[in-house]
Structure 1
Amino acid sequence: MSKSKVDELVNTRSGETKFGEQIMVLPSITNIYDDLKHLDVKYVLIGLPEDVGVFANKGKQGTCKAWDATIKILLNTQNNSLNQGEQLCILGHLDFYEAQKQLSKWDQNNERHLKKARALVSEIDKEVSNLVFNIVKAGKIPIIIGGGHNNAYGNIKGTSLALKNKINVVNFDAHTDFRALEGRHSGNGFSYAFAEGFLNRYFIFGIHENYTSQNILNEALNGENTIKYNTFEAIEVRKEFKFKSEIKKALKYVSKANFGIEIDCDAIANIPSSAQTPSGFSVNQAREFVHSFGSHKLAAYLHICEAAPTKKTEAQVGKLIAYLITDFMRANSN
């Protein structure tokens, strides 16, 4: 993202300093690893404006719009002693224009089109994993915004390759996204990462009992894999477990090694997303979750995905994601 584009989006005001006036941008990108390695920042923000993975999973599109909604709001938050933009470099977003154009010609109910979309997701995987690899190898922490949950695969693979080790992941999600290896889509990023040896320990936080198949319960969640989970109903409906205690349990499980933090907006009540829910965790619980995991020194990346804003809701979605980004940075830098 260019400095001129940032300046265009920032609404300056006398007596105030906005986040966008303090963040770093690269004047030009020649080699991402070399360009970032000596840059005095800790975090690198990237956008993935696509919904190919959601389409390929027969989901509701719109996740391609989350990046634009977020960047406008984030750049205009206040920069102050409690919210500092100096540690963030905004790299910009990957260009998925051609892939998105293909989608407009395809029908989700057509098996041939679905197959093509899944092949396209595999191509997107390569771009995402390569970008994340270079950011992590340069010693920075990627913050990845937008797109479907298919991009978890690229985040995990890129981080794992850069660290030369399997990584762990905690996923704040209504679904396991551990579905069959049937061609890439937004519902099997974790199962592919696990099968290919990039993912080790996986904790799924708050899955919904109404939307987890018996097949998943039998095969993926049977304890033979290094997977643990809790359910939203056990925490919030039946009150069998306390939210804070479950955070501690999940953190203890994943923090044995470097771990990624995945936030699926489907898990938050009434947030426009690819599988919007009227029943879910609150925005404040999502913020607490990000703060708790972000505070740990082994947090390797943050990914916020599946939000699908409309014109009417883009400010609401942008604010939510901007809160989560700044919560993570505050927690992680302390």
Structure 2
Amino acid sequence: MTHFHFSTREELLSYNSKRASINDFTGVELEDDSTTFAQAVDCCTSLAELKQSPSDYVIIGIPEDIGVRANLGRAGAAQAWDAFLSSFLNLQHHSDNDANRFCVLGHVILNDLMDECQSLNVNNHKERIQLSEAVQIIDQRVSTIVKEIKDLGKLPVVIGGGHNNCYPILKAFNGIDVINIDAHTDLRVANGRHSGNGFSHALENGYLRNYFMIGLQENYLSKSMREILHDDLRLSYTAYQYDYTSIAEDVQLAIDHIDSTNYGLEIDMDVVANFPSSAQSPIGFSIERLRKTVKKILEVSDEMPRYIHICEAAPIYGYPNQVGKALANFVNDLA
């Protein structure tokens, strides 16, 4: 795997926060002997090892925000993977919270593209095209590793990154339905590549079949987008409203629209009010509303989703550990 970095145990352990005993002036004696996720999650250094892994969920990171920038959004999502690991790997492993169900496989190597794109100005048309072209390279790298995980019968849990990465994930599954909890459709015109048109490209190429959005903010829908949502029977949604519809109602409408034996679950953190993200808004769901919605989807669907993609979180706009703890809890909610 040329463009994928497999995490080592040593790397995972480097995220551990160690609490020295207050009575030990040497700093060597630890306060307790508890076991963290960094010590207990499965760690595979090759696809051959992953094939033998008993873990159900394979966690990978996509540390990039090139797609967000190409969509004229604010950068920062590239840091979500590291923030997630800092919190997730410090969760406690015990009989009621078994870390063995997870394999932290590693991340897609994108530092070369991030460096090349760092100085590009999105307000310069030619340079924005360069960003779009870089996203197409990201597509190839992401699709390759996701397909490998899928072919091994594992469930990829993908931590982004921008929502542009929905496209290569869907390409890896080659014909699947989607529930997307999101304030936006990400159905912009399929010209070039960026975080706003991943689902458009997937529909156009047959990788996405039926698509349901939960929490859509209708105030931002253009006339043409409203017409698309009305005319295309593959598309449906429930809107965000200040006087919420019930979680059960939202989820049932989604389940009725898609094939719940063959679907992916997308979670765009832009849907949460005041959450540090690429397109942060003062309006939206609460974190608890989002967690309960995800839980309800998993409860009532006929099978687990084929993949889970959490994207667009941008730690630099929040307080310390805000993004990391939120994403860690979303992933750890998986039974």
| TM-score normalised by L of structure 2 | 0.90
Cα distance in structure 1, aligned partners of 2:11 and 2:232:
49
Residue identity opposite 2:166 in structure 1: A
Matching residue of 1:229: 237
1:220-239 CA-to-partner distances (Å, cap 9, x unmatched) read x0242411111102xxx244
| Residue in structure 1 matching 2:199, options 185, 190, 194 | 190
Deviation, 1:169, is 0.3
Q: What residue number does 1:315 align with?
A: 321
Q: Choose which of 282, 285, 290 in structure 1 pairs with 2:289.
A: 285
Q: 1:58 pairs with 72, 96, 99, which one?
A: 72
Q: Does 1:70 align with 2:70?
A: no
1:60 offset after TM fit, Å?
Answer: 0.5
Per the alignment, residue 301 of structure 1 pairs with 307
Distance 2:192 2:223 in 1: 21
Instruction: Give matches, 1:1-12, under 5 Å.
Output: 1-12=7-18
Q: Which amino acid aligns with 2:314?
A: A
- Give 1:38 deviation, angstroms: 2.1
**5+ long unaligned stretches in structure 1:** 161-165
**Is residue 276–residue 318 contact of structure 2 (8 Å, CA) maintained in 1?**
no
Query: Structure 1-normalised TM-score?
Result: 0.91
In structure 2, what is the Cα distance between the partners aligned to 1:210 and 1:192? 24
Partner SS, residue 201 of structure 1? strand
For residues 28-50 of structure 1, the C-alpha deviation after alignment (integer angstroms, 9 at most, x for no partner) is 32xx2x33222211110000000
2:279 aligned residue: 275
**Residue 93 in 1 paired to residue 107 in 2?**
yes
Shift of 1:314: 4.2
Q: Is contact 1:69–1:314 with CA below 8 Å preserved after alignment?
A: no
Select the structure of larger CA radius of gyration. Answer: 2
Aligned length: 315
Q: Could you list the per-position Cα deviations for residues 34-82 of structure 1 after superposition, in whole angstroms to 9, with x for gaps in the alignment?
A: 3322221111000000001001101100000000000010000111233
Give me the CA root mean square deviation.
Answer: 1.5
Matches within 5 A, 1:1-334: 1-12=7-18, 14-26=32-44, 28-29=45-46, 32=47, 34-160=48-174, 166-219=175-228, 221-233=229-241, 237-239=242-244, 241-295=245-299, 296=301, 297-310=303-316, 313-327=319-333, 329-330=334-335
CA drift of 1:251 comes to 2.1
CA distance in 2, matches of 1:263, 1:229: 14
CA contact (8 A) 2:177 2:264 kept: yes
Percent of residue pairs bearing the same amino acid type: 37
Question: In 1, are the aligned partners of 2:41 and 2:101 still within 8 Å (CA)?
Answer: yes
Cα shift readout 1:145-198 (whole Å, capped 9, x = no counterpart): 0200000111111123xxxxx100000000000110110100000010110001
- Change in 2 beyond 3 A, CA 1:256/1:92: closer
**Counterpart contact for 1:255–1:298, Cα < 8 Å:** no
Partner secondary structure for residue 307 of structure 1: coil
Code of the residue aligned with 1:315 in structure 2: it is N
The alpha carbon displacement at 1:293 in A equals 2.3
**1:312 to partner: Cα distance:** 5.4
Whether the 8 Å CA contact 2:9–2:38 is kept in 1: the answer is no
Tell me if structure 1 keeps the 8 A contact 2:159–2:309: yes
Deviates more, 1:36-45 or 1:167-176: 36-45
